[in-house]
Amino acid sequence: MVDRLLLSRPAGLGTGAFRALLGAAVEHARHRGARVVEAYPVDPDSPSYRFMGFVGSFEAAGFAHLGRAGTRRHVMALRVG
């Protein structure tokens, strides 16, 4: 199980690193028998939880918006199996 996917340095922005790591995490989950991968990203202007990623990045990877978890986090999911 992949519990967290973090990019800690702004230098990685715009390099495709997040997309590549997310793709690898999804493939790992699929290979291990997962049926759904969940994410809890925030809007780009969120003052906190930014380490969880942004909604647009997960939308671009095919994740669907399911609702909200509190006032900042979105609940998103991708069916993989």
Instruction: Give the pLDDT of residue 19.
Output: 87
Name the residue with tokens 């990019």: 7
* SS3 assignment, position 22: helix
Query: What tens digit of pLDDT does each residue of 14-69 get?
Result: 778 888 889 998 999 999 999 999 999 999 888 887 778 889 999 999 999 999 99
Confidence of residue 4 (pLDDT cuts 50, 70, 90): low
Structural tokens at position 37 = 């991968």
**pLDDT for 67:** 97
User: How many angstroms separate the CA atoms of 25 and 29, rounded?
Assistant: 6
- Radius of gyration, alpha carbons of the chain: 12
Beta bridge partners of 73: 69
